Each structure stands twice: as structure tokens, then as C-alpha cells.
């Protein structure tokens, strides 16, 4: 007869496998690749809500409702400490990201580079359409889009506050300073990800991502050789 510890071990083992399989099936149920690549209209999607005026000077920008509620709580706590948080970018659609990407591709700033080198240069701070975490509605850019802003004066106080407090509200700086060997985008002190949702979206993204994920914009042909999924989509820091 099998000893009791072994019976328990086997039973737990099966439970573990079964549980993981069920989670895999249900976690991404109802989420489509189109949604994960930003091919939706957030103003008509039931999972999104508009960012209210007290959190942004922009109009008609959207976040996933749960991420927005956490952000609102975080901004209120920051305000008590004399820190002002303003959303400068939230959910971005595939076509919005394509405008940004193609705009950079044909700008004089990147004319000195050709082919994969040009794509690589743009990728220092911008995503290929279909590969941005902003598509998910879980990530926000706060206050400014340059690291320098956060390195002195009021900007440095904001950044220090975020480092101390953001994770209490679920927010993580996913593009850190790369000293740990992280690949992909350069450091972005302004980009914060609502981890409780984004963690699952990343798993579903990797699960549902088709072979030809990146088409329909300038330089899309270089997505394979630049290893967009391995080096950029997965080139993130988690909670510290």
C-alpha cells in the first residue's frame, strides 16, 4: 500500500497540474489578440473608463477601470503628501501607436539610420504598434516624458514618492535603469504599470500572440530580427 505522504503528494501534484490547466484556460477567456494589440475603441469597451479631469489635462483618454481606481487612490494619497500626479498618456490604440511610430520613422531625427538600425533607434523609447503595454489600458505615463524631469527639484520629489509608495497601490516602474541586465527600452521614470492586471495581460499576450504579430507599419519587417517579444515585451522589471 502506498504510504500516506505519497498519496497526499500525488493528489496535490494532480491538483496542481489541474489547477494550472484550468487557470490557463480561464484566465485569458474572453480576451482576444485584437484587444491585446490595441485594436479596440476604449470609449466603447465596457472594461475601460475615461481618466477624469482631476488626474489629467488631456481629454478623452482611457484606462482599465480597476487600474484607474487604483491610480485615483494613489493620486489622492500623493496629494496629501504635497505630490501632484498627472496622467500624460494612458491607453493607446494600435492606430495611435502606428502614428507615433511612422512619424518617428520618417522624421529627420532618425534619417541617419537605415533599416533595422532605424527601428532599433526608435525602439529606445517607443514601441512597435501591437507591442506596447499602453494597448492594455494598464499602464500610464505620469507628469513628463523625460528622465531629466525626475532628476531634480519637484520632479525628483515626485519620483522619490513613487518609488516609496506606488507599489502600495499596485504600480510598478517596469522600465528601470537596466543595471540588472534588463533588455529592451531605456529607463522610463514616467511609465508605471498597474501590476495586478498587467501581469495577467502579459501572460495572455504571450499566449495569444500569433506568428505574424507585427505588420502594417514602417519597418515591421525587422520585428523578428530585433526580437520584439523576447527583448522588448518581456524586457521588464517586476515589483522590487
- CB nearer to Zn ion: pick between 28 and 170: 170
Stretch that binds Zn ion, among 66-74, 137-145, 164-172, 193-201 (CB under 5 A): 137-145
Closer residue to Zn ion, CB minimum distance, 32 or 186: 186
Pick between residue 119 and residue 142 the one whose CB is nearest to Zn ion.
Answer: 142
The grid coordinates listed for 18 are 489541474
Cα dihedral value 166, 85, 55, 169, nearest 10: 10
Q: By C-alpha distance, which of 66, 12, 98, 90 is closest to 200?
A: 66
By CB under 5 A, the residues from 173 to 232 that bind Zn ion are 191
Piece of the chain touching Zn ion by CB under 5 A; list 3-11, 40-48, 112-120, 140-148: 140-148
Give burial (CB, 10 Å; 0-12/13-18/19+) of 145: middle
Supply the minimum distance, in Å, between the C-beta of residue 133 and Zn ion. Answer: 7
Burial per residue of 51-66, b for 16 or more beta-carbon CB atoms within 10 angstroms, e otherwise: beeebbeeeebbbbeb
User: Of the two residues 28 and 158, which places its CB atom closer to Zn ion in the complex?
Assistant: 158
The number of residues that bind Zn ion (CB under 5 A) is 2
- Contact segment (CB under 5 A) with Zn ion among 15-23, 133-141, 161-169, 226-234 equals 133-141
Contact call for residues 135 and 197 (beta carbons, < 8 A): no
Q: Pairing relation of β-strands 191-194 and 171-172?
A: antiparallel
Residue 141 found at the interface with Zn ion (CB under 5 A): yes
Instruction: Give min distance, CB of 175 to Zn ion, in A.
Output: 8
Residues that bind Zn ion (CB under 5 A): 141, 191
Amino acid at each position: 500500500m502506498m504510504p500516506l505522504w505519497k498519496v497526499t503528494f500525488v493528489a496535490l501534484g494532480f491538483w496542481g497540474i489541474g489547477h494550472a490547466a484550468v487557470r490557463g484556460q480561464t484566465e485569458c477567456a474572453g480576451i482576444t489578440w485584437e484587444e491585446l494589440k490595441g485594436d479596440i475603441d476604449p470609449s466603447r469597451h465596457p472594461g475601460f473608463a475615461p481618466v477624469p479631469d482631476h488626474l489629467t489635462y488631456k481629454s478623452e483618454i482611457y484606462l482599465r477601470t480597476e487600474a484607474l481606481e487604483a491610480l485615483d487612490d494613489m493620486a489622492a494619497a500623493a496629494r496629501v503628501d504635497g505630490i501632484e500626479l498627472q496622467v500624460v498618456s494612458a491607453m493607446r490604440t494600435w492606430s495611435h501607436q502606428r502614428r507615433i511610430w511612422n512619424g518617428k520613422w520618417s522624421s529627420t531625427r532618425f534619417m541617419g539610420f537605415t533599416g533595422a538600425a532605424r527601428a532599433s533607434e526608435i525602439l529606445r523609447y517607443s514601441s512597435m504598434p501591437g507591442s506596447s503595454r499602453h494597448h492594455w489600458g494598464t499602464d500610464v505615463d505620469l507628469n513628463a516624458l523625460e528622465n531629466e524631469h525626475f532628476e531634480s527639484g519637484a520632479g525628483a520629489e515626485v519620483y522619490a514618492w513613487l518609488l516609496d509608495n506606488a507599489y502600495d497601490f499596485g504600480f510598478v516602474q517596469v522600465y528601470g535603469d537596466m543595471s540588472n541586465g534588463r533588455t529592451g527600452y531605456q529607463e522610463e521614470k514616467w511609465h508605471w504599470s498597474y501590476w495586478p492586471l498587467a501581469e495577467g495581460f502579459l501572460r495572455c499576450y504571450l499566449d495569444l500572440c500569433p506568428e505574424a504579430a507585427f505588420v502594417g507599419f514602417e519597418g515591421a519587417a525587422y520585428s523578428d530580427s530585433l526580437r520584439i517579444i523576447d527583448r522588448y515585451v518581456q524586457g521588464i522589471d517586476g515589483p522590487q
